[in-house]
Amino acid sequence: MKYLFILNDPAYGTERSYNALRLAMKVRKQEPKAEIAIFLMGDAVICAKRGQKTPDGYYNLERMLKPFTRHGEVLLCSTRMDARGMEPDEATPGARRSSMDELTQRTLAADKVLVF
């Protein structure tokens, strides 16, 4: 099964992106053969910012994305990256710039699309 998770909210300040990644992790655990793509739009592109330093005991979205950069895909909206002044080398390794065209293709190919 192909899953597409679309995240819009900022990395911190709300817990929507955090909860989306928690769900993606559970899906991956319960369905190991699932194909999971995570598309970060809007303020969510910052979820993939390299070098996040969070207080001890606090979740770290960069760390939560790492399994999906190795076994899945983490795609960042290039327009939203540009709007926030985020360069490709500032993204966590394995995450990559993408586009609305690719998001459209991924949406049409996915069995399930979850939007947060």
% of residues, the chain, pLDDT over 90: 95
Mean pLDDT score of the chain, rounded to an integer?
96
* Half-sphere exposure of residue 60: CA atoms within 13 angstroms, side-chain side: 14
Confidence of residue 45 (pLDDT cuts 50, 70, 90): very high
Residue burial 80-109, b: 16+ Cβ < 10 Å; e: rest: bbeeeebeeebbbeebebbeeebbeebeee
Q: Is 74 helix (H, G, I), strand (E, B) or coil?
A: strand
Confidence of residue 110 (pLDDT cuts 50, 70, 90): very high
In this prediction, residues 2-17 reach a mean pLDDT of 96
Q: The domain containing residue 106 runs over which residues?
A: 2-115
Output the domain CATH number for residue 100: 3.40.1260.10
Report the alpha-carbon distance of residue 38 to residue 98 in Å, rounded. Answer: 11
Confidence of residue 49 (pLDDT cuts 50, 70, 90): very high
Structural domains counted in the chain: 1
Q: pTM of the full predicted structure? A: 0.94
